[in-house]
């Protein structure tokens, strides 16, 4: 793990790494999407067999509720209790996040109301690389259920018993054994077997991310999902705990980015030593080894102000403030989520605290927050103009319409009494 001085050049290099356009992923995703749109299920199943090894002669595309129930009986009771605990907390937070109906008398005779209505359907993409991420199923399905979405479709290329048991607990009715860009194409445009959805959510690999961005012209998506990012901002604290948080996110993928930002050279050395010690306890096959060697770094800032401004420009997916957190937090404007205090380890947010772990990466935290129940509803504005409101607004509306040269707009007011 490198120790680098935080200079404008270092910052520019780190930011540039996240702005690389993945031309190969876009090219392949474009080809797959076009094929699925043209040939439907034939292309969907062919790409699934080629890329994921899913042979529909052995396993059907759709997973039945019976399969889910059987998987649920095969997993440990302690696991089911943990899933229920996680889902309960995510549900409580989602209920707090949900936008509400309201009504406002803007002025006498002018009333604006907001109606909150759920999306008709959503697709939940569940990564199925080394492991099927059951936590992502919880994080996408539960807020959609809270929002009242009537049709929720989950997809995963290689669902295991833990994922299927989680789906059974959550009451998922539509679950397809498919992944990759071909799954995104099916969800966005539909095939005979998979009806299209209004919005696709959930992270995936580079090809899934490219496919979501391509399909976003026709189907809403939550956000682009790049490599996982973790930043710890601290000048002191427990080096073992901080190293553990950095490694926890680093093991997601070889290109995950884990960074300590500090003003203390001595503290930087202690954390780096602890990272090396903990890496020795991980299997050589764990992606954290490659991630910490190639991507991870400790950044030495000249001042706390410089450190905080870097964090705001970097806008990390995960930010930990283990010591002196409230003072740092006042300076933070951009982060997907913040872990405040020494006991707030990042895995709590990945699984069970209740906050959503589908978060903006690649600097998107400068523009939006993490997935929430609000992502699964539409806010519809209702406008009612009564007589008093008409008399108050008519002259001004006509004047503004004439100023823009929109004569039919002005007449639509003038023809009314």
> Which residues does the annotation mark as catalytic?
317-318
What pLDDT was estimated at residue 54?
76
Dihedrals phi, psi of 5, to nearest 5 degrees: -75, 130
Domains of the chain in sequence order: 2-18+227-354 (3.40.50.1980), 23-98+114-221 (3.40.50.1980), 386-414 (no CATH)
CA distance 63 to 54: 13
| Threshold 0.85, pTM exceeds | yes
Residue pair 371/356 in contact (Cβ under 8 Å)? The answer is: yes
What pLDDT was estimated at residue 145?
98
- In terms of Cβ atoms closer than 10 Å to its own Cβ (0-12, 13-18, 19+), residue 165 is buried
What pLDDT was estimated at residue 22?
84
- In terms of Cβ atoms closer than 10 Å to its own Cβ (0-12, 13-18, 19+), residue 77 is exposed
Please list the pLDDT of the chain residue by residue as tens digits (417 residues).
Answer: 899 999 999 999 988 887 767 899 999 999 999 999 999 999 999 999 998 887 766 678 999 999 999 999 999 999 999 999 999 999 999 999 999 999 999 999 999 999 999 999 999 999 886 677 899 999 999 999 999 999 999 999 999 999 999 999 999 999 999 999 999 999 999 999 999 999 999 998 889 999 999 999 999 999 988 888 999 999 999 999 999 999 999 998 888 899 999 999 999 999 999 999 999 999 999 999 999 998 899 999 999 999 999 999 999 999 999 998 899 999 999 999 999 999 999 999 999 999 999 999 999 999 999 999 999 999 999 999 999 999 999 999 999 999 999 999 999 999 997
Angle at 385 between CA 381 and CA 390, to 5 degrees: 140
CA distance 35 to 37: 5
What pLDDT was estimated at residue 417?
77
Residue pair 246/276 in contact (Cβ under 8 Å)? The answer is: no
Residue pair 292/250 in contact (Cβ under 8 Å)? The answer is: yes
What pLDDT was estimated at residue 16?
85
CA distance 267 to 260: 10
What pLDDT was estimated at residue 128?
80
What pLDDT was estimated at residue 58?
61
Strand order in the sheet with 377-385: 102-107, 110-118, 377-385
pLDDT tens track for 128-180:
866 778 999 999 999 999 999 999 999 999 999 999 999 999 999 999 999 99
């Amino acid at each position: 793990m490198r120790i680098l001085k935080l200079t404008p050049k270092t910052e520019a290099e780190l930011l540039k790494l996240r702005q690389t356009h993945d031309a190969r992923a876009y090219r392949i995703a474009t080809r797959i999407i076009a094929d699925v749109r043209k040939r439907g299920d034939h292309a969907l199943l062919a790409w699934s067999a080629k890329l994921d090894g899913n042979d529909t002669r052995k396993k059907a595309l759709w997973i039945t509720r019976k399969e889910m129930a059987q998987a649920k009986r095969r997993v440990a009771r302690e696991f089911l209790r943990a899933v229920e605990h996680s889902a309960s907390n995510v549900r409580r937070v989602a209920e707090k996040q949900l936008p509400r109906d309201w009504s406002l008398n803007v002025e006498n005779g002018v009333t604006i109301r907001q109606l909150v209505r759920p999306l008709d359907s959503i697709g939940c993409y569940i990564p199925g690389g080394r492991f099927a991420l059951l936590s992502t199923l919880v994080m996408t399905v539960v807020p959609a259920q809270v929002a009242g979405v009537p049709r929720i479709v989950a997809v995963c290329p290689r669902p295991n018993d833990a994922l299927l048991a989680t789906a059974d607990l959550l009451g998922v009715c539509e679950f397809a054994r498919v992944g990759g860009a071909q799954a995104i194409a099916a969800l966005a445009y539909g095939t005979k077997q998979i009806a299209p959805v209004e919005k696709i959510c959930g992270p995936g690999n580079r090809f899934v991310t490219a496919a979501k961005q391509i399909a976003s012209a026709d189907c809403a998506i939550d956000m682009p999902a790049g490599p996982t990012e973790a930043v710890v901002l601290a000048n002191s604290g427990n080096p073992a705990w901080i190293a553990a948080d950095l490694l926890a996110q680093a093991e997601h993928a070889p290109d995950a980015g884990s960074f300590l930002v500090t003003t203390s050279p001595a503290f930087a050395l202690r954390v780096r030593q602890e990272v090396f010690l903990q890496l020795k306890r991980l299997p050589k096959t764990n992606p954290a080894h490659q991630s910490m060697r190639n991507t991870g770094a400790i950044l030495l800032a000249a001042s706390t102000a410089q450190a905080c401004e870097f964090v705001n420009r970097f806008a990390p997916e995960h930010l930990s403030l283990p010591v002196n957190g409230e003072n740092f937090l006042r300076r933070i404007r951009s982060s997907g989520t913040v872990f405040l205090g020494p006991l707030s380890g990042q895995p709590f947010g990945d699984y069970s605290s209740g906050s959503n772990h589908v978060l903006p990466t690649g600097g998107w935290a400068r523009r939006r927050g993490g997935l929430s129940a609000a992502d699964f509803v539409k806010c519809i504005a209702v406008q009612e103009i009564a007589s008093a409101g008409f008399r108050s607004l008519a002259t001004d509306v006509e004047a503004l319409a004439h100023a823009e040269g929109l004569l039919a707009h002005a007449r639509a007011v003038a023809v009314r009494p």
